[in-house]
Structure 1
Amino acid sequence: MASFVIEGGHKLHGEIVPQGAKNEVLQVLCATLLTDEEVTIENIPNILDVNNLIQLLRDMGMKVSKSGSDTYTFQADNLNLAYLESDDFLNRCSKLRGSVMLVGPLVARFGKAMIPKPGGDKIGRRRLDTHFLGIQKLGASFEYDAVNGRFCINAEKLKGAYMLLDEASVTGTANIVMAAVLAEGVTTIYNAACEPYLQQLCRMLNRMGAKISGIASNLLTIEGVSSLKGCSHRVLPDMIEVGSFIGMAAMTGSEITIKDVSYQNLGIIPDSFRRLGIRLEQRGDDIFVPAQEHYQIESFIDGSIMTIADAPWPGLTPDLLSVMLVVATQAKGSVLIHQKMFESRLFFVDKLIDMGAQIILCDPHRAVVIGHDRNFCLRGGNMTSPDIRAGIALLIAALGAEGNSRIHNIEQIDRGYQHIEQRLTALGARITRIE
């Protein structure tokens, strides 16, 4: 198990380019199963979750070729369907949460799929009901093998249907959309997720010959087609990395420029950081964060304490609340961080409290942060990363702390952030990886 040793207190300076978006890549990689023609995808990040899914596709019989540092071509014209029922396939899927999005394409094109209970972050219950209920509405049957902990999905022919999703699940919507594009007739999905990454998936599918309308809204209409063709697709920059770099600049009082961020796809992320008092400027498609010794949390118009909460798009992504919580520890003022969508993502705050942060954990969903206004720096600490987003939040805390910190289980960070120590070292950070 690898660890990071971080020497805190160093200013960062320079330019950094965000990687391709992890959450989008996991969707579009699964979509390559929907055609037997070549699909080329650019801006794929070199991170653990993505690399594991690409290897899993290879082992399924997908032809995968790399034509550039971040560009791959995929062709699913001769899959080994027997492998999809093997213990090796199911064991590897159980360790990769994104593998659940294989179900929609496999059932749509081949009429069957098998999937174990997926793994991934330990951030509370992440139920799969939305995925399965939606695909069932299209005519698939589900059986759960409790002894082996696996789901068996079968469908002779999917047929379009109207559905109102019980939650605007991003991966659930993606899975249903990928199943519906090859179903007979028209599918209508209401309360669909509409994140930019889901929009990207829909546009890619349309270039492949799908007929999806309502993109960017929560009402999608899909007219099924008999087959899809190949296409080329470029992945958006990762909005979570963009937000993480804004947080790093604020926490360390540094001046950095974040390049090529696709600003129009960031939604309320920039304004959410501004609510914490952080100055940032849009310069073309870049974000410039000036060095800022102090930043003051805003209050609501009636003077009440600022509350920052996650919500489905176009609300604030839950993946950035951990970063914003850390940044608030050095702000002037107080803020309530309300993590509505996951129940265990705030449990890492005990590590920040050990570093000297003033945080009251109200319950699994809410924490009040009382900012130090840099009158007291966090102390370096010894901690373990429980999930991807808490891991990067702890790294940001360590960069702004006095003394040395050690973060264990950094494989969690590697799952979502590409070569993070090299990229931050180039900005002036002091980070050493110890295997």
Structure 2
Amino acid sequence: MSSAFEVRGGNRLKGEIIPQGAKNEALQIISAVMLTSEKVTIHNIPDIVDVNLLIELLGDAGVKVNRISRDKCEFQADDIDLAYLQGADFKKKSGRLRGSVMIAGPLLARFGKALIPKPGGDKIGRRRLDTHIIGFEKLGARFNYESDDNYFRLEAPGGLKGTYMLLDEPSVTGTANIVMAAVLAQGTTTIYNAACEPYLQQLCKMLNSMGARISGVGSNLLTIEGVTSLGGCQHTMLPDMIEIGSFIGLAAMTQSELTIKNAGVESLGIIPEKFRSLGIQLEIKGNDIYIPSQETYEIQTFLDGSILTIADHPWPGFTPDLLSIVLVVATQAKGSVMIHQKMFESRLFFVDKLIDMGAQIVLCDPHRAVVIGLGRQHPLRGITMSSPDIRAGVSLLIAALSAEGKSTIQNIDQIDRGYQYIDERLRNLGADIKRV
């Protein structure tokens, strides 16, 4: 039986909260330890299901894992069990985990072969692997799709060779996987339309500290001069910007006064501005974000008076992972906003639960929803609901914390995949939430 959260809404929260390490960075960084036989120490690891599964998977594959504390771990991949990485147990385990696709690049670069499972993880629409596979092919790998057990088998018997490529989409995981393969390829690889998210910049900085030669970091044109081997390093992960955005939204919805400590402010890009456009006051104090308690917040319009649209876009645009949060927060704002989710076609399918709670939302199509803010005239009411994906789960949790009465959120394994000890951390701020 899966557990659920029981939430009694209406409490104003108060205090300080420290964001966890970035989940999306962790999956790339931890995969990169496979690129060297030397020791790699990683700090600020989030203690969440997806990351712990990946660490366990590396341990099964022969990587020496020394978890010094929940957020600090040493890895040494000097004795990899390649037979395990081609076997049935690996197939079964890696198929459950979205992030397992990220070890393909390092394995291909170092050992000339890799298996990739068909993606698991969230039900938010198709998650294509084309960018990864085509990138590996351009570097000289061959692939076979084994349909009987849903696997891509990749081989590069002659090693990988640098080349020019233009990605069909600036996929974050695709770019990261190709970069990890290219650092040990012969010659120079140029990747245009590369993703340039902070997670990817962090990965490139880490690889460069291991002896890779990557230039153009932070832009969409990466140049990678292949090297013959990489050494060990120390790396500290950024705070999770999705969690930071979630806490900003939570503070506004529940009229709470919160300080988000150590928020990695210089890596947040446009995120603070997007929340300000919903009328949310926030002050940046050094590396912290202070959100005062606000009775009301009013959505801005465009300069010509037309209705505000908030859409996702590859970095440095607004991350799709925060659109669910923005949508929920808009339900109690004054004014209206159009939410346009371009990247995933089922991310908005949780709005029916918000409508059941009393929100005024028109779902135009799978990608667009108009939110008519209630301006706190009618608080949301607690209901029983289930979480379809990580970000929707936290959005529903925010809605429940601001609603009248009791809400029950089922399927919270989805929330645990991305947010560490979220119930405990919210209770410390004064939330009435328990795990049942």
Q: Quick check: 1:50 aligned with 2:51?
A: yes
Q: Secondary structure at the match of 1:152?
A: strand
CA RMSD, Structure 1 to Structure 2 (Å):
0.5
Deviations 1:134-162 (A, max 9, x none): 11100000100111211100002100000
Question: 1:111 maps to which residue?
Answer: 112
The Cα of 1:91 is off from its aligned counterpart by 1.1
Q: Is the contact made by 2:382 and 2:406 (CA closer than 8 Å) also made in structure 1? A: yes
The Cα of 1:411 is off from its aligned counterpart by 0.4
Alignment of 1:174-193 (within 5 A): 174-193=176-195
Q: Secondary structure at the match of 2:83?
A: helix
Q: Is the contact made by 2:123 and 2:346 (CA closer than 8 Å) also made in structure 1? A: yes
- Structure 1: how far apart are the matches of 2:70 and 2:24? 19
Question: 2:408 maps to which residue?
Answer: 406
Question: 1:15 maps to which residue?
Answer: 16
Question: 2:165 maps to which residue?
Answer: 163
Alignment of 1:260-279 (within 5 A): 260-279=262-281
- Match 1:319 to one of 318, 321, 326: 321
Question: 1:350 maps to which residue?
Answer: 352
Letter in 2 for 1:430: D
- Structure 1: how far apart are the matches of 2:25 and 2:287? 20
- Structure 1: how far apart are the matches of 2:339 and 2:266? 25
- Structure 2: how far apart are the matches of 1:249 and 1:148? 45
Question: 1:86 maps to which residue?
Answer: 87
Q: Is the contact made by 2:309 and 2:339 (CA closer than 8 Å) also made in structure 1? A: yes
The Cα of 1:68 is off from its aligned counterpart by 2.9
Alignment of 1:30-179 (within 5 A): 30-156=31-157, 157-179=159-181
* Unpaired stretches in structure 2, ≥5 consecutive residues: none
The Cα of 1:106 is off from its aligned counterpart by 0.4
Q: Secondary structure at the match of 1:177?
A: helix
Q: Secondary structure at the match of 2:149?
A: coil
- Structure 1: how far apart are the matches of 2:70 and 2:349? 37
* Unpaired stretches in structure 1, ≥5 consecutive residues: none
Q: Secondary structure at the match of 2:125?
A: coil
Question: 2:380 maps to which residue?
Answer: 378
The Cα of 1:111 is off from its aligned counterpart by 0.4
When structure 1 is superposed on structure 2, of 327-336 and 93-102 the one drifting more is: 93-102
Q: Quick check: 1:255 aligned with 2:260?
A: no
Q: Is the contact made by 2:119 and 2:127 (CA closer than 8 Å) also made in structure 1? A: no
After superposing on structure 2, the runs of 4+ consecutive aligned residues of structure 1 that deviate more than 6 Å are: none
Letter in 2 for 1:253: Q
- Structure 2: how far apart are the matches of 1:161 and 1:370? 50
Identity %: 69
Deviations 1:227-255 (A, max 9, x none): 00000000000000000000000000000
The Cα of 1:69 is off from its aligned counterpart by 3.7
Q: Is the contact made by 2:196 and 2:315 (CA closer than 8 Å) also made in structure 1? A: yes
- Structure 2: how far apart are the matches of 1:107 and 1:283? 44
Deviations 1:77-109 (A, max 9, x none): 011111111111111111111111111000000
Question: 1:2 maps to which residue?
Answer: 3
- Structure 1: how far apart are the matches of 2:207 and 2:352? 44
Q: Quick check: 1:212 aligned with 2:214?
A: yes
The Cα of 1:183 is off from its aligned counterpart by 0.1
Letter in 1 for 2:170: A
Question: 1:293 maps to which residue?
Answer: 295
Letter in 2 for 1:133: I
The Cα of 1:115 is off from its aligned counterpart by 1.8
Deviations 1:273-293 (A, max 9, x none): 000000000001000000001
Letter in 1 for 2:142: S
Letter in 2 for 1:378: L
Q: Is the contact made by 2:47 and 2:70 (CA closer than 8 Å) also made in structure 1? A: no
- Structure 2: how far apart are the matches of 1:10 and 1:88? 47
